[in-house]
Structure 1
Amino acid sequence: MQKVLHINPEKCTGCLQCEMACSYENYGVYATSKSRIKVFDFHHTGRKVPYTCTQCDEAWCLHACPVEAITIDKMTGAKVVSETTCVGCKVCTIACPFGTINYVQETGKVQKCDLCGGEPACAEACPTQAITFVDANWTGLDRMKAWADKLGNQPAAA
């Protein structure tokens, strides 16, 4: 069963635990600047929104890479950057319409979410479950039902 990261911005408090967990998992240090997930702060509304690679089916990054440094992990479905193959040309960063692949100055390579091999540290660290790791076939039915209930989705009178 394939799984994906599901982000619910309504639950995000902006605590940055996801960023800290990601940097520690991938680099062994707590440094938000090294995180593969970022929490965007909409200052004018106070809303915080985590964002990272969605592992999209289109995989523009994978198709754009001239040296085939991005491959698909058969177990997780994640598009993974091979640091040994990557030449740091940044073509994938241009191809990604979501801006979730980043160039790392210190290594001269790019980085992106790889789902931590199937156990995303960001999801495990999120105290509010704003980030969860769910079945890829999840439809969001519960969320749709909750929204319908807010709009007056009540049983019909008999």
Structure 2
Amino acid sequence: SYGKVGAFNPAKSVMDVSLYNGGAANIPSTCTQCEDAWCMVVCPVEAITINPTTGAKEVSAEVCVGCKVCTIACPYGAINYDVDSGVVTKCDLCGGEPMCVEACPTPALAFVDEDSTGYDKIWSHTASTLVDGNSLVRQ
């Protein structure tokens, strides 16, 4: 949140860290920059556009009317409404160099090419790291 709003406030972050298995697993999630982004499709004022340099779907605060339709359309819950500004926020990849990756004190976050990721791979890896091999249970 510091890079976007100048304050260390998890409520203003474009990344969510969900706790699973009683806090034994902490899994970060953020906008996946979907190829067919539903948030973009449903925006009535076309406030979400594609950055030609990074390919990121970005919200224009000047255009957004704060209707929150995109927050409903996002299947990952990765778009948040900011009460203070009256517009939605989401990950914009920080111009291709995400601050969250740079600030992370462990190698828990990485910025990788879109072709090398997928939720099936993410969940498969996560499941393989569980001590008892049980399913993840979100808190």
The interval holding the TM-score normalised by the smaller chain is: 0.7 to 0.9
Structure 1 CA distance, aligned partners of 2:7 and 2:107? 23
Aligned twin of 1:70? 48
Correspondence 1:93 to 2:93: no
Q: CA deviation at 1:108?
A: 1.1
Aligned twin of 2:32? 54
Residue-by-residue CA offset, 1:73-130 (whole Å, 9 max, x unaligned): 0111110000000000011011101100011111111000000111100111112211
Structure 1 CA distance, aligned partners of 2:105 and 2:98? 14
SS in 1 for 2:102: helix
Provide the aligned C-alpha RMSD in A. Answer: 2.0
**Structure-2-length-normalised TM-score:** 0.80
Q: Which has the higher strand share?
A: 1
Structure 1 portions without partners, runs of 5+: 1-22, 151-158
Runs of 4 or more above 2 Å deviation: 135-140
**Structure-1-length-normalised TM-score:** 0.71
SS in 2 for 1:40: strand
Structure 2 CA distance, aligned partners of 1:32 and 1:119? 20
- How many residues are matched? 121
Letter in 2 for 1:64: V
The percent of aligned pairs where both chains have the same amino acid is 56
Aligned twin of 1:153? none
Structure 2 portions without partners, runs of 5+: 129-139
